[in-house]
Amino acid sequence: MPELEYLTRITGILGRIRETQKDNIENAARQFAQTIASGGRVYLFGSGHSVIPVLDIFPRYGSFIGFYPICDPRLMWFNVVGPGGARELLWLEQREGYAKVILSSYDLTSKDSLLVFSHGGLNAAPIEMAIEAGKQGVKVVTVSSHSNFRQAAARHSTGKKLPDVADIAIDNCVPPEDALISADGLPEKFAAGSTVAAVSIAMTLVAETGRLLVGKGHRPSTFVSPNVGLPPDHNEEVFREYMRNVLRGYGEKPVAV
């Protein structure tokens, strides 16, 4: 086995993403830039480990207002077993009907877009998030394993898998089992690839969306590292603008914050 094989394998996956998904990523970035420039929102969703790229898009140093995470703590784990544990999460994300309840707290419109992450692309939560958003005219972009899409049977009662309900479906180019490294002939592999792939796609989308927005004459309100040297209240103003936009989305008058 080559030394540090994981780095070789994950570098190969990132290369395949660049080679095969360039058009899909560029099309998604154009959609997101159009959404944000027109006053819409790019909502973000993932459950389980697929919440990691959502958390890494916004609020994150180097990202900007226009991205709105949908994070349900019931679909994230904070423990191994018991309350907030993996068993509970894995059960809930397969239950049909829950995503519609989550979206009842969000005022989606046809100006908006939705970015959904799910490696397997088979569970009810991400599929129904995409379906319900699509019913409201939202443009849906998905990131999942297309090799799993090709080989796995659908679990959802509609017979759909995540790429089936996307306007733009991006392949994370990771094999179905996710883990990449074999050792001593064991059937189980180690070290997952989907998180690195998903976060890399996410950051590429942030970069390309920001570049396109600037090209349209739009200056994104960017959350920045304190090492940058901008005025000390810069990020506080970003938070204030985000809060004003959230209130405006629900038909409320902006308040001083």
Tens digit of each residue's pLDDT (9 = 90 or more) over 62-71: 999 999 999 9
Helix axes 22-37, 194-215, angle to 10 degrees: 50
Q: Three-class SS of residue 102? A: helix
Examine the pLDDT at 255 and tell me if it is beyond 50.
no
Residue 184: the pLDDT is 87
Q: Quick one: tokens of 94?
A: 């397969």
Neighbours of 26 (CB within 10 A): 15
DSSP strands (E only) in 108-215 = 113-117, 139-144, 168-171, 179-181, 190-192
pLDDT-based confidence at residue 245 (cuts at 50, 70, 90): confident
pLDDT-based confidence at residue 252 (cuts at 50, 70, 90): very low
Closest by alpha carbon to 117, among 78, 60, 75? Answer: 75
Residue 232: the pLDDT is 85
| Longest Cα separation, the chain | 63
Query: What is the pTM for the complete model shown?
Result: 0.94
Q: Name residue 179's beta-bridge partners.
A: 192
